[in-house]
Amino acid sequence: MPYSKEIGTDAQPKEENVKLTHCESATLKDILQTRLIECGWRRQIEQFIREKIAERGNQTITSEELAAEIVPQARAMVPEDVRNEMMIRVREALESSLTRK
Amino acid sequence: MSETGCRHYQSYLKEHGYDTYRVIDAYFSACVNQDARLKKATHCYCFECGSANIQLYACLHCIYFGCRGAHIHSHLRAKKHHVALELSHGTLYCHACRDFIYDSRSREYALINRKLEAKDLQKSLGWQPWIPTAKESNLLLANSRRRLVRPNQTIGLRGLLNLGATCFMNCIVQALVHTPLLSDYFMSDRHDCGKSSHKCLVCEVSRLFQEFYSGSRSPLSLHRLLHLIWNHAKHLAGYEQQDAHEFFIATLDVLHRHCVKAKAEHESKSNSSGSSSGTNSTSSSTTSSFGQCNCIIDQIFTGMLQSDVVCQACKGVSTTFDPFWDISLDLGETTTHGGVTPKTLIDCLERYTRAEHLGSAAKIKCSTCKSYQESTKQFSLRTLPSVVSFHLKRFEHSALIDRKISSFIQFPVEFDMTPFMSEKKNAYGDFRFSLYAVVNHVGTIDTGHYTAYVRHQKDTWVKCDDHVITMASLKQVLDSEGYLLFYHKNVLEYE
C-alpha cells in the first residue's frame, strides 16, 4: 500500500484488484487494536503524547502537528511479534480473497 | 468551563444550527437504529476513492464523504466549507483552524446518540472520556496536592509486626494487599457497610488498605484484624503457629460472608426506602447457576473445578462442578502411573489434571449402565478465577509421621493455563497468568517462620519478613521454596 514509508514491506501487490472485504479488514483492524493494547504499545504512545504536549507548555498544538511528530516513531515502536502476526494474517486474508475470485 | 469550539464553528452554528450535525452524527457516526445502519452501509464511502477503510470525514456544509487527508481537505478547501465530522470517533474538525474542536453542546448531542446506539444494539455504552463537572473542577482546584506514583516509591508497602507467631497472618495480608483487583476495589471505596463497622471484617480490611497507602513507613499491628478473624473462625484462635493456607481460606470465607451480609443489608435498605436502583444492585446476593455469588471475593478468587468420572464399562461420563478458591497440589512420590516426582509447578498441575484410575476398591455406580463399575476420574478447570492460588502440600500428616517436604519446586513467573482447562478450544479465552506473590515457609513442621515475596510494581519484588521490608530480585523469588503461590490473570474478560 503506498501509504507506508518503511523498508521491507510489499510496495506493489503483484495482482491488482485484490481487495479485502469490509468484513475482513474490520476483523483485522480489531485484532491489531487488541494486540497493541495488550503489549502496552497504546499506553506507551499515550505517555509519549503527554510528554510532547508538556514540552509545548502553554502553546497549543494542532492534531496535525502532533501527528507529524508522533506517527513515525509510533510506527517504529510496534513490537516485532505484533508486526509479524499481522503480516501473516493480512497475507492469509489476501490469499483467501484471491482464491475466492 | 464549557467549550465552544472555534469561531468558525460558532458562525457555522449561527447559520445552520445543530440539526445537520445531529443527523449526520446519528446516521453515520453512531448509528442509532437499523435504518441508520442501512444508510451507512450503503452510502458511507469516500466520494473520491470509494473506500471506507481509512477514517472518513463527513462535510457538515454539504453532502460529501472523504478519506482523512487529501480527499476531505481538497473538498473543504475547494468549497470553502469549514467544518467536518470525523466519523470513527465523532469529533468535529475545523479546516480553517486545521485542528479538532470541541463544543460542549455538540458533545451532549453526541452522547444522546451514542446512548441510543447502545440501546438499539442492546450493548452497554462505550467508553466516554471523563469531563469534570463544575463541582469536581472546584474540588480539584481546592485540593491541589497530587500524589504521583513513581517507580521507586515505597507507597503501598508497610511492615507488619509479629504479635507472637502471627507471621502466617502477616504473609497472607501482604499478599492480599498486593492483589491488584482487591486493592482497586478497596481503594475506590466500593464496600458500603452502613452499620457498626467494628464487627465487619471487610471494613477492617478497607481500613488496612488506607493504612498501607497512607505514606507512613512504620510497621502496623494487625491486632484488630486478628481478633475479628478469631471471632469468626474459632479454629484459628490461639497463640500457636497456624497454617498460612488455612488462614487464607478462613479469611476469604469470612470476607465473603461479610460481603454478602453487607450487600443484603444494602438491598433491604434500598428496598425499604422505596427507590429503585440508583446503585447497581443488579448483582444480588442470590447464587447464580454455579452456586457463585457476586461479591468481590467470589469475583476475584472463585473458580470452577470440573470433575469427570468415566465409567470403564459403558464410557458414560458423569460431570460435576465444584467451586474452588485455591488448588492444592500433591508433592509426594507418585504411586500410580509410573510418574516421576513432580519438580515444577507444571508437573504438579499435570498430575492434578491427569485421569486417575479409581481402582476396584472404589467402584462407582454408573447412572447409564446402572451397575457398579470401575471408573477413571479426571479433574479439569472449567473456569479460572482472576487470581489463582496454588497450595503446595508440603506438610504431610500421616499416621506414622508428620513431616515437611522441602523439595524445591520450580515455578514460572508467567505461564499459560490453557492446557489444564476443560474447554481448550474456547476462542475467547486468554489464560495467561503472572506471579505476584509467594509465601514461603522456613523450618520444620513443628517450628517455622513464614515470609512472603510480593510484586510491588510491575518489575519490583519485595521481601516481607514481618516488619522488615527489603528489596528482592526476581531470581531470589524464583529460587525460594514456595508454599503458597498467587498468580494474577493478565487479560481480564467479561463473563
Residues B99, A62: C-beta atoms closer than 8 Å: yes
Averaged pLDDT for residues A46-54:
88
Q: How many CB atoms lie within 10 A of CB B348?
A: 21
Residues B26-58: pLDDT tens digits?
999 988 999 999 998 888 888 888 877 778 899
Q: Is the model's pLDDT at B61 over the cut of 70?
A: yes
Residues B98, A38: C-beta atoms closer than 8 Å: no
pLDDT of residue B274: 44
Residues B453-488: pLDDT tens digits?
999 877 889 999 989 999 999 999 999 988 999 999
Determine, yes or no, domain membership for A11.
no
Residues A62, B52: C-beta atoms closer than 8 Å: no
pLDDT of residue B5: 83
C-alpha cell belonging to residue A49: 503524547
Cα B307 to Cα B422: distance, rounded to the nearest angstrom: 9
Determine, yes or no, domain membership for A96.
yes
Q: Is the model's pLDDT at B264 over the cut of 80?
A: no
Distance from CA of A91 to the nearest CA of B (A): 17
pLDDT of residue A14: 57
Determine, yes or no, domain membership for A13.
no
Looking at B188-339, list the stretches that DSSP marks H as alpha helix, in order from N- to C-terminal side. Answer: 201-212, 223-232, 244-272, 296-301
| Element containing residue B38 per DSSP (H, E) | helix B34-43
- Closest to B180 in 3D by CA, of B483, B433, B480: B433
pLDDT of residue B290: 38
Phi-psi category of residue B484: left, alpha or beta, with phi > 0 → left and psi -120 to 50 → alpha: beta
Alpha-carbon dihedral sign for residues B318, B353, B494, B28: negative
pLDDT band at B283 (very low <50, low <70, confident <90, very high): very low
Domains of chain B: 7-121 (3.30.40.10), 296-489 (3.90.70.10)
- A92 touches B: beta carbon within 8 Å: no
Determine, yes or no, domain membership for A19.
no
Nearest residue in chain A measured CA to CA from B96: A62
* Chain B residues with CB within 8 Å of chain A CB: 52-53, 97-100, 491
Looking at per-residue confidence, does B356 or B271 come out higher? B356
Q: In angstroms, how far is the first alpha carbon of chain A from the final one?
A: 20
Provide φ and ψ at B300, rounded to 5°: -85, -45
pLDDT band at B279 (very low <50, low <70, confident <90, very high): very low
Averaged pLDDT for residues B191-197:
69
Q: Number of helices (H) and strands (E), helices first, in chain A?
A: 4, 0
Mean pLDDT taken over chain B: 83
In this structure, what CATH number is given to the domain that contains residue A34? 1.10.246.140
Contact list in B for residue A38 (CB cut-off 8 A) is 491
Distance from CA of A71 to the nearest CA of B (A): 14
Contact list in B for residue A59 (CB cut-off 8 A) is none
Sequence-ordered strand ranges (E) for B20-59: 56-59
CB of A77 within 8 A of CB of A45? yes
For cell 446518540, the residue is: B113
Q: Is the model's pLDDT at B281 over the cut of 50?
A: no
Q: Among B167, B200, B293, B348, which one carries the catalytic annotation?
A: B167
Catalytic, B232? Answer no
Residues B240-254: pLDDT tens digits?
778 889 899 989 988
pLDDT of residue B291: 47
Averaged pLDDT for residues A68-92:
91
pLDDT of residue B334: 63
List, as own/partner pairs, every contact residues B201-204 make where C-beta atoms lie below 8 angstroms and the sequence separation is at least 24, other chains included: B201/B225, B201/B228, B201/B229, B201/B232, B201/B251, B201/B254, B201/B255, B201/B258, B202/B255, B202/B258, B202/B259, B202/B262, B204/B228
Q: Is the model's pLDDT at B169 over the cut of 80?
A: yes
- Closest to B183 in 3D by CA, of B469, B385, B456: B456
Beta bridge partners of B304: B323, B383
Distance from CA of A32 to the nearest CA of B (A): 14
- A64 touches B: beta carbon within 8 Å: yes
Residues B111-125: pLDDT tens digits?
999 999 999 998 888
Q: Is the model's pLDDT at B312 over the cut of 90?
A: no
What percent of chain B shows pLDDT beyond 70? 90
- A22 touches B: beta carbon within 8 Å: yes
Cα B173 to Cα B166: distance, rounded to the nearest angstrom: 11
Residues B374-408: pLDDT tens digits?
888 889 888 889 999 999 998 887 777 788 888 88
Residues B99, A38: C-beta atoms closer than 8 Å: no
pLDDT band at A83 (very low <50, low <70, confident <90, very high): very high
Q: Is the model's pLDDT at B287 over the cut of 50?
A: no
Nearest residue in chain B measured CA to CA from A28: B53
CA B198, B202, B206 angle in degrees (round to 5)?
Answer: 90
Determine, yes or no, domain membership for A37.
yes
Half-sphere exposure in the Cβ direction for B373 (13 Å, CA): 19
- A59 touches B: beta carbon within 8 Å: no
CA B147 to chain centroid? 24
Catalytic, B348? Answer no
Q: What is the torsion angle, in degrees rounded to the nearest 10, for the CA atoms of residue B343, residue B349, residue B351 and residue B352?
A: 140
Name the residue range of residue A66's domain: 24-100
Give the burial class of B300: count Cβ atoms within 10 A of its Cβ; 0-12 exposed, 13-18 middle, 19 or more buried: buried
Residues A38, B52: C-beta atoms closer than 8 Å: no
- Residue type, position B300, single letter: I
Residues B198-217: pLDDT tens digits?
788 888 898 899 888 887 88
ipTM: 0.73
Nearest residue in chain A measured CA to CA from B51: A22
Determine, yes or no, domain membership for A1.
no
CB of B453 within 8 A of CB of B438? yes
Cα B409 to Cα B62: distance, rounded to the nearest angstrom: 70
Averaged pLDDT for residues B193-198:
68
Determine, yes or no, domain membership for A10.
no
Question: pTM for this one?
Answer: 0.72
Determine, yes or no, domain membership for A72.
yes
**Which residues, 6 or more positions from B325, have their beta carbon under 8 angstroms from its beta carbon?**
B249, B252, B301, B302, B303, B385, B389
Residues B427-441: pLDDT tens digits?
566 788 999 999 999
Distance from CA of A8 to the nearest CA of B (A): 22
pLDDT of residue B265: 76
Nearest to A62 among B52, B53, B98 (CB): B98
* Count of structural domains, chain A: 1
